[in-house]
Amino acid sequence: MAELNIAIAGDLHDQWDRSDHDVLDLIRPDALLLVGDFSDGKSRIPELLATLELPLACVLGNHDAGKDGSGRTLRHQLELLGDRHCGWGLRELRPPGLAVVGARPGTAGGGYHLSKAVRAVYGPVGLHESAERITRAALSADPQLPLVLLAHSGPSGLGTQVDDLCARDWKAPACDWGDQDLALALDQIRRRRPLPLVIFGHMHHALCHHQGERRSFRRDAQGTAFLNTASVPRHGVDQQGRALRHFSWVVFSGGDLRHISHRWYGIDGALHYEQTLWRAALPAAGVLSPC
């Protein structure tokens, strides 16, 4: 299996326009993943995404319903995205050859809670039913494809300190604010097949009340990497006055996870800054890997 380069856009919060498409045309990832919170229910970004020819998958976040508890705004977002949205389901991207399973759409973290909008669209889905939907989708994926779990909020169990990947930072005391259904699904999936990568956002990298910056990566003892992509705002300008666009970047090679980073590109496609979070170790000198 050839090298697979994946660009991920964290929480957009209305910061997505034609310049992002231009950058993608220049840097040419094999696929694009998005973790939700596109805007506050406006149709502009889903309509833009529909014009991309790049293989993509996404899941909606808590902001995407706007303030409309009736579910009409959320339903309209889902209609615009069509099968690009994979919440509670499987999307196999062929090409390039990637299985993406979406977690619970519309989550705001904090254990398990369905908003009025999500309940209006999907019905009263319980904690264990949600975990089972995620698990079932993952186990139906082609086992020959790398599997990525795509969520808006990450799973519970990643720490309780204020700067942990899914911890609450806006109110003391800090606590684990991850999703319990996603944690249950992860446990069930990994009993049956490898799960190399879980991608999410929601908890912004810049902590509230000037508490510093959130840790955005962790890899556990079972070999699953957890990546928080919520660099907000993802449009910026550096000290030289150059416009920047943030993407997280993941590389698979031969079906194995090889590289994870945060990248800031110029609108001309030049890579100006890169924060490498993890790179797979090469085999030690003189040690042969099995074929």
The token pair at 249 is 């970047």
Q: What is the CA radius of gyration of the chain?
A: 18
Q: What tens digit of pLDDT does each residue of 23-79 get?
A: 999 999 999 999 999 999 999 999 999 999 999 999 999 999 999 999 999 999 999
Average pLDDT over residues 82-105: 97
Give the three-state DSSP class for 232.
Answer: coil
φ, ψ at 82 (rounded to 5°)? 60, -140
Respond yes or no on whether the N-terminal peptide bond of residue 96 is cis (omega within 30° of 0): yes
The token pair at 179 is 């999703």
Least confident of 101-110, 241-250, 275-284: 275-284
Amino acid, single-letter form, for residue 20:
D
Q: Which residues contact 256 (CB under 8 A, 6 or more apart)?
A: 146, 196, 280
Q: What tens digit of pLDDT does each residue of 169-203 get?
A: 999 999 999 999 999 999 999 999 999 999 999 99
116 touches 69 (CB < 8 A)? yes
- Burial classification of residue 290, based on how many CB atoms lie within 10 Å of its CB (0-12 exposed, 13-18 middle, 19 or more buried): exposed
pLDDT band at 2 (very low <50, low <70, confident <90, very high): confident
Q: Which residues contact 29 (CB under 8 A, 6 or more apart)?
A: 5, 6, 7, 54, 247, 249
Q: Which residues of 187-225 are buried (b: 16+ CB within 10 A; e: fewer)?
A: ebbeeeeebbbbbbbbbbbebeeeeeebbbbbbeeeebb
69 touches 120 (CB < 8 A)? yes
Residue 272 has pLDDT above 60, yes or no: yes
The token pair at 1 is 């299996």
Task: Quote the CA–CA distance of 256 and 3 in Å, as a whole number.
Answer: 9
DSSP strand pairing (98-102 vs 90-93): antiparallel
Looking from the CA of 170 toward its CB, the CA atoms found within 13 Å total 8
DSSP strand pairing (31-34 vs 56-58): parallel
The pLDDT value given to residue 286 = 47
Mean pLDDT of the chain: 95
